[in-house]
Structure 1
Amino acid sequence: MSQAKPNLLRRVYDWTLTLAERKSAGGWLASISFAEASFFPIPPDVLLIPLCLGALRKALKFALICSVASVLGGAAGYAIGAFGWETVQDIFYNYVPGFTEEKFRDLTSWYKEWGWPLVFLAGFSPVPYKIFTIASGVLGMAFPQFLLASAVSRSGRFFIVAVLIAKFGEPMKIFIDKHFNKLALAFGVLLLSGFAVLKLL
């Protein structure tokens, strides 16, 4: 009796594991990390985790690539807010999930109260980071302050993931292989919760 064909998510995961050993892996990871911090809705963790699992010895390298690209993407988001917001705001309101004009106004009031700690916390949270990078530019947060908060939070998040995988990689890989569908569902719920938080606030 033939085995059932893996679902699409499983095939993508298996493909990503093989991608880890290719020279193009870093480029893929950098592109997604950069885009996520400025306009793309999918977090880089979906690529970082299987890449680290596919090549444990490269886990810290992948975390570094992810961190640098995410900080640069955050700087691009800051620039969008600082120099081009009036031109592109309708695109974000219409096409980025959770990015509504009302929520963006709420965010501006939070910035006045909290400032850079808000950026720092957002870097660790499942809430879409691009909203905070763009808002930082719109509201004129001091760029060095923004860059430091972004660098510490994003690198902290990605290196924690990489270190855990480097240390417990093989057992984690076995666990993921065994419970892939449940974990994929849980990750999807976590991703959606980031957008749901914006609607509830």
Structure 2
Amino acid sequence: MFDSIVQLFMQYGLAGLFALSFLDAIVLPVPPFFLQIAMSLIEPEASLRIATVAFTGSVLGAPIGYMLGKWLGKPLMHKLVPAKWANKAMEMFEKNGDAAVIIGSFTPIPFKVFTILSGVFNFSLTRLMFYSILGRGSKFFLIGTLFHFYGKQAKVLLDNYLEVSLLGVAVILAAGWYILSKRKQKFLSK
């Protein structure tokens, strides 16, 4: 299924990548980095432009996924999930939503899960956008930069080290978030 969807969007070049990235933040279960890698493999010298298109589509789709979660997700959640579970999930997202969004930007879990949940749990749209820009930008531009510097050899690096690299960046960003949140708490307690 992934291959069929990627092939469909690949026919439209950069416009297809933009659409896939945009829809990944709203409804589609296919992460756009598969198409980004395929396009960068064909044209490594355009990899940073390709990364920019994927990043832009993803970030522009985030507020629509958020609004979808806000409008449809909450009523649906209250029908399908017991109230105590929904309240517990809301508490956890309020407490750890920043980390969830930033780390979620790197996982293979479709990004729409995080944009929609942000809307369902009333996470700040401003913070969602900030972490989307930071997380999605890092992910797309890491891939784009590898192809820019290593050309087609970047595919070998990605095959061997993509998961470790993305996990490493996610850990660094999560550690940065943790340190900043602790400093903020310390500052506010003074």
Higher helix share: 2
Deviation at 1:72, TM superposition (A): 1.3
Instruction: Check the 8 A contact 1:32/1:44 in 2, yes or no.
Output: yes
**Is 2:7 aligned against 1:37?**
no
Percent same amino acid among aligned pairs?
26
Deviation at 1:39, TM superposition (A): 1.1
Which one of the candidate residues 58, 61, 64 is aligned to 1:70?
58
Amino acid of the structure 2 residue aligned with 1:124: F
Q: How many residues are aligned here?
A: 151
Which one of the candidate residues 139, 142, 152 is aligned to 1:160?
142
Which one of the candidate residues 73, 90, 109 is aligned to 1:127?
109
Gaps of 5+ in 2: 164-190
Q: Which runs of 4+ in 1 moved over 3 A?
A: 104-109
CA–CA distance in structure 2, aligned partners of residues 115 and 162 of structure 1: 28
Cα 1:64–1:107 change in 2 (3 A) is farther
Amino acid of the structure 2 residue aligned with 1:157: K
Cα 1:29–1:101 change in 2 (3 A) is farther
Deviation at 1:148, TM superposition (A): 0.4
Which one of the candidate residues 1, 13, 22 is aligned to 1:25?
13
SS of residue matched to 2:41 = helix
* Within-5 A mapping of 1:70-109: 70-85=58-73, 89=76, 105=86, 107-109=89-91
Instruction: Check the 8 A contact 2:59/2:132 in 1, yes or no.
Output: yes
Amino acid of the structure 2 residue aligned with 1:43: P
Q: TM-score, length-normalised on structure 1? A: 0.64
* Aligned twin of 2:95: 113
Cα 1:67–1:101 change in 2 (3 A) is farther
Cα 1:172–1:121 change in 2 (3 A) is closer
Instruction: Check the 8 A contact 1:52/1:162 in 2, yes or no.
Output: yes
> C-alpha offsets along residues 81-120 of structure 1, whole Å, 9 cap, x if unaligned?
1123357x48xxxxxxxxx958x94753431221222111
CA–CA distance in structure 2, aligned partners of residues 83 and 38 of structure 1: 13
> C-alpha offsets along residues 38-92 of structure 1, whole Å, 9 cap, x if unaligned?
11001001100010111112110110110010011111100101123357x48xx
**Is 2:33 aligned against 1:51?**
no
> C-alpha offsets along residues 132-179 of structure 1, whole Å, 9 cap, x if unaligned?
111111111121111101111001100000101111123345x59xxx
CA–CA distance in structure 2, aligned partners of residues 86 and 141 of structure 1: 13
Instruction: Check the 8 A contact 1:108/1:135 in 2, yes or no.
Output: no
CA–CA distance in structure 1, aligned partners of residues 132 and 44 of structure 2: 26
CA–CA distance in structure 1, aligned partners of residues 52 and 133 of structure 2: 11
